[in-house]
Amino acid sequence: MIVSPSLLSADFTNLRRDIDMVRGSRATWLHCDVMDGVFVPNISFGFPVIKAIASATDLVIDAHLMIVDPGRYVDAVRDAGAHIMNVHYEGCTHLHRVVQSIKAAGMKAGVTLNPATPVALLSDIIGDVDMVLLMSVNPGFSGQSFIRHTLVKIAQLRKLIDESGSKALIQVDGGINLSTGAECAAAGADVLVAGNAVFRAENPVEAINGLAAL
């Protein structure tokens, strides 16, 4: 299992220490949550912070843009050092164009679905995307409870990907711990994002490695 620890739950006064902790674990990705206070009711951090994070590590920088019209920032995200750019289906009027421009910029393209957005809406774009990120909480905050209906969506998405011949990875984000992570793995997930379950754990490296072993 690929694990992408979410820095939203890290200690922002000790980011380098927390990044180094992740580097010493089995995680290979680092999840960076960008929020604009409009698409979601919270504001987190932006491109200068991602740039600093990217310069401090060779982990894969997995940027999750919880912002309106993320297509405006494709070059900024790439220049900040991100390798994967996740945009919300609900935030893009011209999703196909945004996905193509992310790939043209040299990044992997991820499309994210909010909990109430059906998997079936991806049927005409699934062949173009490198990853689908299923939100298992309503985006905006770490530390929320896993929405169990996500397990049904993972299975539906697995079927859509396998039937279409797409190579897209399935990523799940929100309320992931060892027990919900195991259920996501069984349903067909490839990548797990975890914030609180990692950074609030007594032993964060052990928490990451437990998820990686699923």
What residues line the site for ligand DX5 (CB under 6 A)?
A: 6, 8-9, 31, 33, 64, 137, 139-144, 173-176, 193-197
In the chain the first and final C-alpha atoms are separated, in Å, by 6
Q: How far is the CB of 74 from ligand DX5 (least distance, A)?
A: 19
Closer to Zn ion at the Cβ: 109 or 127? 109
For residue 112, give the H/E element and its range.
Answer: strand 108-113
**Which of ligand DX5, Zn ion, none does residue 86 bind to, with CB < 5 to 8 Å depending on kind?**
none
Tokens of 81: 């050092």
Closer to Zn ion at the Cβ: 41 or 127? 41
Rounded Cα–Cα distance for residues 116 and 137 (Å): 10
Closer to ligand DX5 at the Cβ: 100 or 183? 183
Q: How far is the CB of 119 from Zn ion (least distance, A)?
A: 18
173 is catalytic: yes
Rounded Cα–Cα distance for residues 200 and 197 (Å): 6
Residues making up the chain, counted from first to last: 214
Closer to ligand DX5 at the Cβ: 166 or 190? 190
11 is catalytic: no
Instruction: Write the DSSP symbol of residue 136.
Output: S
Q: How far is the CB of 138 from Zn ion (least distance, A)?
A: 12
Amino acid, res. 62 = D
Q: Which of residues 20-39 bind Zn ion (CB under 5 A)?
A: 33
Residue from 18, 33, 36, 190 carrying the catalytic annotation: 33
85: nearest Cα among 68, 109, 105, 69: 109
**Which of ligand DX5, Zn ion, none does residue 140 bind to, with CB < 5 to 8 Å depending on kind?**
ligand DX5
Residue from 18, 62, 130, 173 carrying the catalytic annotation: 173
- The site for Zn ion, by CB under 5 A, has a size of 3
Is the separation of the CB atoms in 157 and 170 below 8 Å? yes
181: nearest Cα among 205, 198, 158, 160: 198
- Could you list the active site residues? 33, 173
